[in-house]
Amino acid sequence: MVNVGDNWTCPYCGHAQVLSENRMQDDWNRQHIRGWKKGVPTVGILSIVCANKDCQELSLTVVLGPAKKGNDQAVRVDKHWTLLPPSSAKPQPDDIPQAIRGDYYEACEAACQAESDCRR
């Protein structure tokens, strides 16, 4: 996962920025169940809002992995899901016709939905 102060590029608009505390949050939730062969399941949620005033979209990622001993954070990530944006499409310039951009975005979203683990 990323941290406050890291460089980050918005997947919606392509705006490069440094992550700030008020625009990102990551939470880890240790599941209080036993018996998973990999250890104690831990879910991490990463939320980032783009700092670009023309965008301000939400990026949302969920990860799953076994917890570190005595800690709620996962020792490694076994599964990774990008919930928002809905695909890995890169922003396209306005000089590309809308019909072509639309087909591109639709194809990227379909490809992402076909995979069980859509990553950037």
Q: Which of 81, 85, 42 is nearest to 65 (CA)?
A: 42
pLDDT tens-digit profile of 36-66?
Answer: 899 889 999 999 999 999 999 999 999 999 9
The single-letter DSSP state of residue 97 is: -
pLDDT tens-digit profile of 75-105?
Answer: 888 998 999 998 888 888 889 999 998 899 8
pLDDT of residue 118: 55
Residue linked to tokens 């625009």 = 23
CA distance 47 to 32: 23
pLDDT tens-digit profile of 61-77?
Answer: 999 999 877 777 778 88
Residue 19 scores a pLDDT above 50:
yes
Question: What are the beta bridge partners of residue 67?
Answer: 74
pLDDT of residue 88: 81
Q: What is the pTM of this model?
A: 0.77
* Centroid of chain to Cα 80: 8
Residue 117 scores a pLDDT above 80:
no
Q: Which of 41, 50, 49, 65 is nearest to 14 (CA)?
A: 50
* Centroid of chain to Cα 82: 4
pLDDT of residue 92: 85
Considering the chain, what is the average pLDDT of its residues?
87
The backbone torsions φ and ψ at residue 64, rounded to the nearest 5 degrees and listed phi first, read -135, 135
